[in-house]
Amino acid sequence: MVGLLLFLTSCTAEGSSHSNLRAEQSDLRIRERESNFPAYQQEMPTAVANDHLLTVVGNAAMVANPEHNFIMGGSELWPVLGGYEFRFTGTAARPYAGPSISFESPYWVKMSLSGEVQDISKLPPTGLTSAVAKFGSGVRGVSGVESLSKLRPGVMTTTVIEFKKPVTEKSLGLENGPARDVFLSRGHMGGKAIYWPGHEGCSDKGLPEPCVDYSSVSQFRSWVSTLTAEDEPILARFGLNPVDLRRAAHDGLVYGIIGNFSPYAVRKNVKGKNVQAAWITEIRPCPVKKDCP
């Protein structure tokens, strides 16, 4: 597992750099909502119902879209005529190389007053789209936007790594964190593998105790524990099966990871005996040499 431990320490956490952005955007949205939608303030459900709907929809959208690095903290349900519209606080750029880059997300989910999902916006493909589609399909080897032999120092990559056999967080050296962006299933029958983003903590995702910030598996289990039979139509709109979600939560195994790796870390990791496939999906120059070993 030495190789796996290396790439995990090479990933750079981004969650803390988003705090100021979330606070500023949240304050702005509150002011806009109060000025533009006063008539619908009274139509919002109680705080508990609102929080649950936000937690179900927001996390389901992230699980269903591993290609997009959404920022959940500070996201809101906007009151609109006849229902609500969910929007993420933003989207963080991948791969991380120096200061985190975040921008407004074009993604939205429209719902009725009863919480029924009526429409979901379409998202453009990213560098991760092809890799996510192939994850769990039996592909082997290393591929992507650049060959290993051509990778040079001074850049950071986003790389998807799939394991031959699923592993625990502890075996990856993550028993004390930090949480990572992981795949918790292999995917089957043409469906995507179950994904969970680790770049934000429990409170940002609206997750109840017991939830551990530094464990992606703990976060995922906490979210699944909140799901009820009434939420199943919402999950279905995101292509999620509650049976599969509960099985993944029960097993708590990691089938792969999306990480930010230096060229050295990529080469070291793909030599691991338990690595089945790897996709180098994006490359970004490092603005500061020390940020990108």
Domain closes at, from 120, 149, 179:
120
Better pLDDT: 253 or 105: 253
Domain match, 73 and 150 both? no
**181, 280: one domain:** yes
83 with 146, same domain?
A: no
Domain that holds residue 25: 15-120
Number of structural domains (the chain) is 2
* Residues 223 and 111 occupy one common structural domain: no
Looking at 3-12, 197-206, 283-292, which range is the least confident one? 3-12
Are 68 and 166 part of one and the same domain?
A: no
pTM score > 0.95 for this model? no
Mean pLDDT of the chain: 80
- Residue 189: the pLDDT is 54
The answer to whether residues 206 and 276 belong to one domain is yes
Q: Does 106 share its domain with 196?
A: no
* Token pair recorded at residue 283: 């490359």
Alpha carbon separation from 255 to 63, 94, 164 (Å, rounded):
15, 21, 8
Residues 152 and 131 occupy one common structural domain: yes
| pLDDT given for residue 95 in this prediction | 59
User: What's residue 39's pLDDT?
Assistant: 36
Tens-place pLDDT, residues 132-161: 999 988 889 888 877 777 888 888 889 999
Of 105, 120, 135, the one marking the end of a domain is 120
DSSP lists the bridge partners of residue 190 as: none
pLDDT at 61 over 70: yes
Count, residues in the chain:
293
Q: Each residue of 95-111: pLDDT tens digit?
A: 554 445 556 778 999 99
CA angle 292, 170, 138 (to 5 degrees): 75
- Burial state string for 27-66 with b = 16 or more CB within 10 A and e = fewer than 16: eebeeeeeeeeeebeeeeeeeeeeebbbbbbbbbbbbbbb
Indicate the range of 35-44, 76-85, 182-191, 232-241 predicted with least confidence. 35-44
Do residues 168 and 253 lie in contact, with contact meaning Cβ atoms separated by under 8 Å? yes
Task: Give the end of a domain, one of 120, 138, 164.
Answer: 120
DSSP string, 13-80: --GGGGHHHHHHHHHHHHHHHHHH-GGGGGGS--HHHHHHHHHHHHHHHHHH-TTS-EE-TT-EEEEE
CB 19 within 8 A of CB 74: no
Label residue 51 by pLDDT band (50, 70, 90).
Answer: confident
Confidence at residue 3, expressed as pLDDT on a 0 to 100 scale: 47
Q: Are residues 286 and 163 in the same domain?
A: yes
* Same domain, yes or no: 178 and 280: yes
- Same domain? 32 vs 139: no
Q: Which residue type, as a one-letter code, is found at position 126?
A: T
